[in-house]
């Protein structure tokens, strides 16, 4: 398949679903850690295309552990608390990798 981590078209940046895999290719067993790592990757992609966290207007979060939504919300709030993008949180049966607990997409307007 054709694939881009992120695409910029004019003032819009779209970041594809991003799991919280570590730089070493491994997943932390912690949902909070995976959430933080996923958002680090998402924000790096936005920055690479000239955007900033303050310009994020929407996040979409998919998790296999919807029962632990407060862990996700806590990390999301640390990063986006003052920015307050539109956010959707969806529980799913599984993600691309069995160890992945979360996948996050984001849109920014630059």
pLDDT of residue 34: 98
**Tokens in use for 80?**
């986006």
Q: Tell me the fold of 6-109.
A: 60s Ribosomal Protein L30; Chain: A; (3.30.1330)
pLDDT of residue 1: 72
The rounded distance, in Å, linking the Cα atoms of 24 and 12 is: 31
Q: How much of the chain is helix, strand and coil, in % rounded to 5?
A: 35, 30, 35
pLDDT of residue 72: 98
User: Are residues 53 and 25 in contact, defined by beta-carbon separation less than 8 angstroms?
Assistant: no
Sheet strand arrangement including 12-19 = 6-9, 12-19, 102-109, 56-63, 86-91
Angle at 8 between CA 55 and CA 79, to 5 degrees: 30
pLDDT of residue 88: 97
Per-residue pLDDT of the chain (110 residues; tens, 9 = 90+): 788 999 999 999 999 999 999 999 999 999 999 999 999 999 999 999 999 999 999 999 999 999 999 999 999 999 999 999 999 999 999 999 999 999 999 999 99
pLDDT of residue 54: 97
pLDDT of residue 101: 98
């Amino acid at each position: 398949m054709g694939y881009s981590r992120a695409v910029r078209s004019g003032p819009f940046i779209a970041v594809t679903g991003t799991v919280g895999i570590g730089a070493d290719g491994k997943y932390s067993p912690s949902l909070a850690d995976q959430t933080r790592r996923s958002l680090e990757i998402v924000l790096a992609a936005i920055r690479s295309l000239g955007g900033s966290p303050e310009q994020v207007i929407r996040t979409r979060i998919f998790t296999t552990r919807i029962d632990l939504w407060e862990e996700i919300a806590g990390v999301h709030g640390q990063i986006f608390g003052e920015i307050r993008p539109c956010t959707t949180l969806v529980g799913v049966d599984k993600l691309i990798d069995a160890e992945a607990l979360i996948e996050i997409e984001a849109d920014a307007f630059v």
